[in-house]
Structure 1
Amino acid sequence: MLQFQKYMGLLHFVTLCLCLLSVFESCIAINQHVGRIYPGFQASHSEWTDKNGLFLSSNNSAFAFGFYTALDVELFLLVVIHMGSSKVVWTANRGLLVKNFDKFVFEENGNVFLEIGDGVVWSTNTTGEKVGSVELQDSGNLVLLAKNRSILWQSFSHPTDTLLPGQVFREGMSLKSFPNRNNLSHYLEFKPDDMVLYAGFETPQLYWSITTDGRKSNNNVTSSVHSVSLVSNSWNFYNQEGLLLWQFVFSDYNGTSALWAAILGSDGSISFYNLQKGKSVAPEATKIPENSCGVPENCDPYHVCYFDNWCQCPPLLSSEFNCKPQTVSTCNSSKSSAKLLYVGEKLTYFALGFVKPLLKSNLNACQEACLTSCSCLVLFFERTSGRCFLFDQIGNLQRSAEGSPGYISYMKVSGVRNGGPSPASREERKHVIAIVIIVIATISVILGLIYMGFWCHCKKKGLLEYSRDNLEEDNFLNSLSGAPVRFSYSDLSLATKNFTTKIGAGGFGSVYLGVLPDGTRLAVKKLEAIGQGKKEFRAEVTIIGSIHHVHLVKLRGFCAEGSHRLLVYEYMGKGSLDKWIFKNNEGSHLLDWDTRFNIALGTAKGLAYLHEECEVKIVHCDIKPENVLLDDNFTAKVSDFGLAKLMNREQSLVHTTLRGTRGYLAPEWITKYAISEKSDVYSYGMVLLEIIGGRKNYHPEYSLEKAYLPWYASKMLEEGKLKEIFDSELEIDENDERVSAAIKVALWCIQDDMHLRPPMTKVVQMLEGIWAVPSPPISSQTSSHSKFFKWSSGETTSSGPIDYYSELAMSDVRLSGPR
């Protein structure tokens, strides 16, 4: 019996120990980590439900890091949150929410990431680094530290919509708001010498700039702003040396206990909060912009905002559309399918102070410009100055300030209206139509008889000058829908002073400077080799006339009068690119690296538009520096589509006759392979190398090693000597990511195998830093290269490498001159 009691006592003791151990482990499981976590840590929302998904807190317990429940209780954000106010101050995965069992992972190999299913939605991209810990600092900064305590990554360098004290906001950084009710996001961006707010429309629209805000403590400072940070109750602006330039004071309270945050809200305004006030925190009265009506959508689109928060729909829009007009684009329909609806007068719009007018003329010209531009949906016209502004999207309008005449506005709507007229008006209309038809028929018969008589008279006297081809061409041009302005020959003779100032020459004629009566300068191309020029003439009028893009030269008009064929282009003040990058051009100034890079990027965007965004795919066929023109601001515009090859969307290759310029021709031209837009990509790559090197792609005066630029660039890239590739007179920072990106992109573009060349849309993304640039095949210009890397999984490899460069590099003779 005694033994049995001892046995039962021992059993009770073991049971008690096990229970205590179980309770102890449970306590450990639910306790938050304080200050830091270490490699090997993993967490999901399901594991931290008792702590509301938060698994890491700062040492002062002011901030926590973990999962935050979204509107849908089954979806979660990974956030840093201020505990006292419940304000989220940083978000990792705002674009793609995760589920209950998706994990936050801190790997032993140094990478920190948030998984979603089998993929990754966010990562620090620090694989291979010698990491020590992830720390949530008392300031709210989430920091990944190396073993030597240096910072590898921090949330303060990747803000979302909030800035905190101690967080430095530098050039190139931006905030993005959560989308508003119309799915529009707003952005705060630090640009060179300025900080701006803009609406994320398809074409971004600025609505505030620190340089124009008069609430700064010092409006006379001219030094450049390098960084911004929150200090006490003000936003401080510093120069590159860290000296204070001015302050933007947003609160009268400057107590040391305050914890201020600047938050870009979904309404587009920046508000300032003292987070120490807890869950009852409210924004300060001072905000950016100062006027609530100054944000893009304080009211619904098309409403007029006044008295800060009053919204009213213009009467005509209210009566006809219930203030929800069905705006119409004429990009895929005829101009006649749209009309302009009067919106109102004495109006203004938030973006007008940040854009240049399209033109200065009269109201009729402004209306015609909107109807002609397929992207225009709303116009604003200022009667006092004649300034005309066009927009493709619009937010709320504003009433103009007292004493200001403001703007008159029209909106493009469908020309076909719902609901028919009354029976009486229908009868009236029938009578009017019948009368009009009779009058037109009578006039047509009379004009026809007069024309026949005149034609017979001219034929008898031998004065009929046109051949059947000329008449067909005139009929063709007269029938063009939405064609550019048709000038008379006498008007252009007057504008060019009888063609006296010659500014260029090309394969089909000469180019002259022209000036219209209103002072507008034009470039007038006079086609002289008319036997060949008619084909180019039709191509340029039909193709360029229908294309509008900031990086493509705009065709303003044409003349088809008798045997005269002329094309009228916008005037490009700085001429062609070759005059600015080749040292043998006397009088040319050195273009800095930023200007060259912007020219290369603009040219790429123009080509990408031709290849991907036009109704028909357009292959330029003759990309070279002479066909890249520069306006007064050195904005690059691709010119000369006279030799362009049109392709259906279904076509990827086409056979055609040899065109282009030696030195820029892709191998498939010489080998008589079918061509595609990838032929333009090759030519662009050569131009990009010349922009970088400031020399022709082949120059016999250099040493044998340097003579052929593509081979030399590939060799220098392989050896890591990037500076040797660049124009020796350029000052470049080898740490600038654009330097290596531009060289790599150029070498990818000039691959022998067309399938290895990236599409121009991908070129744009790589140059803008949106898409990482992989290293091109080593020595691709002199030996065969890898066939495994493809820009599209649907492409196949070519039949084999082509020994083309040995012939190409021997000459730079042009097969078609600059036009």
Structure 2
Amino acid sequence: MTCGHDVRTWFSLFLSFFVVSTTTAVTFNITNRCSYTVWPAAMLLDDDNWPVGGGGMRLDQGKTWTLNMADDISSGDIWARTGCSFDSKGNGSCQTGDCGGLLACKNRGEPPFTTADFALNQHGSNTFFDISLRNGFNVPMEFLPVPDKGQGLGCSKGPRCVADITSQCPSKLKAPGGCSSSCQVFNNQVHCCTGSHCEPTKYSAFFVRMCPQALSFSNHAPKETDFSCPTGVNYQVVFCPPINLASSPAPSPPNSTAIGPSSTGPSSKKVDTVVSIAITGSVVSFILTTAFILFVVHRRLTRRCHEMEEEEAEFGKLQGTPMRFTFQQLDVATEQFKDKLGEGGFGSVYKGRLGEERIAVKRLDRAGQGKSEFLAEVQTIGSIHHINLVRLFGFCAEKSHKLLVYEYMPKGSLDKWIYCRHDNTAPPLEWKVRCKIITNIAKGLAYLHEECMQRIAHLDVKPQNILIDDDFNAKISDFGLCKLIDRDMSQVVTRMRGTPGYLAPEWLTSHITEKADVYSFGVVVMEIVSGRKNLDTCRSEESIHLITLLEEKVKNGHLVDLIDKNSNDMQAHEQDVIQMMKLAMWCLQIDCKRRPKMSEVVKVLEGTMDAESSIDHNFVATHQANFGIAGNVNSSAPPVASHLSGPR
């Protein structure tokens, strides 16, 4: 869909409040303003309540489906379905309002779904209509009349239910793709009970509170939930309508009637002239104000659409990147983002399934990770493959939606396994398992630093970004802050990024090499062997900072005090653990030139090389020190997939 088409569609919807129709046949214009595809369904009945028409179709964002009402139509329902999949013959299924697995409905759908109900030509040629929540809730909607010329006086405003009820649905009413009616949940198909302790009434009140204009079992007041129009009026049903639009077309003003004695003298003519000028001025002012508002809105929408088109084009040019998904696909795969695995600074991670493959979907919030960080992660991890890096299956960049699809790591992040907390019920890891995890992390970083065509500095190495599989293999994740460093460049200049407690001292200068990851790795190793956080404010003042405590213990010869006391197995391998601490101290050198390469760390862990013994036992910079920064400083280029190595 083009940007211009999007803006024109919005304006046609906006102007429909002011422009009257000239057709005599009753039509229903059904528009999808949601950010995802819906499959609207319609069930039309005759005077004897027999199905005589309707159907269903796929309705993408911004599209409209026009239903023309035949003369024999007496009443009907229109609703949206979500999470649908149909074959070429119209057979399939939906998560909500499924009409027996058919694209074109032949009977009413199964809850949960919200309907636009109407009865044509009733009680003196009037049409009555409402939004009904009695079958549950699926997507926000509005049901508004669009009066024909001369028919504005007797028309109600029309109902709107724009609240996202599904996301706030009480747990007892949760259903795939929606929020079930309380009467359905408690097996009462006709009426909800009204007792003071009756749960159905309690949950029906939730619907009334969220959508007071809609009909529900707890709200039968006709003056609030029943709307009417004279015959010959067209209607629009909008799914996910803009919340800030007016709720109905402005009614036509009544004919003016003179009150009091008539006067035709000069003074009355002056009064008439003044009134005419005032009315004309008000009308002109209203038109100019409306035109200005429309111009400003049009300009903003056009600019935003152009920005999104440029962004789409930028992502479309990516070479060698993983699969691209639509938001609808990931919405279905995660069951509307139902099962949250965790939450970080840039967004939340949800569990999902694509076919037989379990996945983890990171949904970035709008205030978190920006486009450049998102691009960096897609290009970097999407173009490299290593057994100790989390695999990126694909991504979604659809308007405001930014999502990343990873392999699912069943045991979660490393911090859940190494920190001894009151809420952590996992048993302490054995020494052998901790060694395995440390080695896995080292091999992943060595690959990034030394085996790609460009050096990749991760810049956010911490336990929360180390994920664990079923066999306690560790994999590095979250490449949103990474930087690429050309082989002929000694370092890059970058703004400070990462997590406090894991930052290397040279961040004070913003002149960074991949050795910043080596320092962070040293911190993580100390956390793994000691079973505690680097910064732990729950401890005594002198023990809050683990690396400062390490300085004190190594100088006093009491390194054994730092071994995880919650594990007997760790205590039994005391000497091996102390050797691991000495490797960590080599990585924690303030002068980055004195830190080892990660390939050297791997060799030490595999026993083919000894750790450096002549090291400085000061690990925390307390003043302007020599951080080992090289002389020539250059800026790093943005990540380009072709600069990275292929699969390994």
> Taking structure 2 as the reference length, what is the TM-score of the superposition?
0.47
By relative contact order (CA 8 Å, sep 6+), the higher-ranking structure is 2
> Taking structure 1 as the reference length, what is the TM-score of the superposition?
0.38
More strand by share: 1
